[in-house]
Amino acid sequence: MKKYLKRVGLSIAALSVAMLAACGGSEESTTEISSSQAEPSTEEVEDDIDRTGWPEKFVYGILPTEDQAELTKQFDPLVDYMENILGIEFELFVGNDYNALIEAMRNGHLHASGFGPFSYMLAHERGNAEAFAMGVEDPSAATYNAIFITLEDSGLESLDDLEGKTIAYADPASTSGHIFPKGMLINHLGLNMDTVDDHFSYVTFSGSHEASLYSILNGDVDVAGVCDVCIERVFERVQDHPNFDKLKIIAESDPIPRGPQAISMDLPENLRELVIHAFHEMHNDPEATAFLEESGYSAFIPAEDSAFDIIRDTAAALEMSAEDLLK
């Protein structure tokens, strides 16, 4: 994202809000990645598998995009790869939003999914989900940023210019598309949860980071809070838009841990271990790498629940509970 969008001012850091410091966290705490998840050896994976207690099919959750053909192109290699390893059907469940994925996991209809960092906290609390992997383009970069984007001719130069403007967030439970941008506004402008929405003339949830990007490109809103790497992944699809070259960043958050892949702890242990192993070794499979490339990753690295304590701290600082987000 940063190589495409223009930045405002001498230093974007001057516009950043110290979310992590305000919540008692540190950059180190956001990048705590562990390989302690149990991984079966290659020999174990190749042996006959005891499927006692396994579901008839493994259901994996995803969110919709603007283009269903892109979903098929992205996830078909994953389906083929996982079915070959598990020996059972690997089905995709398209949820309308993160809450739909969380509820599906809580009710036993969903077995694993990718989540944003904040929605993962809810999935862990409500759906007995456990983080096990994190998709990264560079294995040494396990964080990303929330950013505010607008168009050059909007007249907006910083967060100080947003009073009375229109804003789009991605999803109520989105870490970088709602929670952190809202926290940035609260901290930078001296607002609180009761007054932050009233600072704008119009507030909407677009449903996804891509939809928020289109809201900016099409002039539907003045500013949007989105994830930098999420938007970067769809640039090829939007670079011909007439307003593409007018996009710019006016504020950026401190580093956020990337969203994890999470699996239901209600599943049999050997099934969980096999899925975890498959994700961690995906970069070694020539066909599965097509899924990684379409997702903007080079590999899935191990992750564990404690890496997301900073998200819990941020939620507490913003007085946002699981109950608030699941209403």
Nearest to 177 by CA among 142, 132, 134, 212: 212
pLDDT tens digits, one per residue of 48-106: 889 999 999 999 999 987 677 788 888 999 999 999 999 999 999 999 888 999 999 99
Q: 200 by DSSP, 3-state: which?
A: coil
Could you please state the CATH topology (level 3) that the domain comprising 31-141+258-321 is classified under.
Answer: D-Maltodextrin-Binding Protein; domain 2 (3.40.190)
The answer to whether 6-26+146-253 and 31-141+258-321 have equal CATH topology is yes
Domain boundary assignment for the chain: 6-26+146-253, 31-141+258-321
pLDDT tens digits, one per residue of 261-297: 999 999 999 999 999 999 999 999 998 999 999 898 9
Enumerate the H helices of the chain as residue ranges.
Answer: 19-22, 27-30, 42-46, 68-86, 98-106, 117-127, 180-189, 209-217, 228-232, 235-238, 269-280, 289-295, 309-317, 322-326
Identify whether the C-beta of residue 198 lies closer than 8 Å to the C-beta of residue 207. no
Burial of 307: CB neighbours in 10 Å, binned 0-12, 13-18, 19+: buried
pLDDT for res 11: 27
Answering whether pTM is above 0.75, one says: no
Alpha-carbon distance of 46 to 69, in angstroms, equals: 33
Alpha-carbon distance of 16 to 250, in angstroms, equals: 9
Could you please state the CATH topology (level 3) that the domain comprising 6-26+146-253 is classified under.
Answer: D-Maltodextrin-Binding Protein; domain 2 (3.40.190)
Number of Cα atoms under 13 Å in the Cβ half of residue 210: 14
Binned at pLDDT 50, 70 and 90, residue 153 comes out as: very high
Q: 35 by DSSP, 3-state: which?
A: coil
- Bigger pLDDT: 232 or 278? 278
pLDDT for res 38: 40
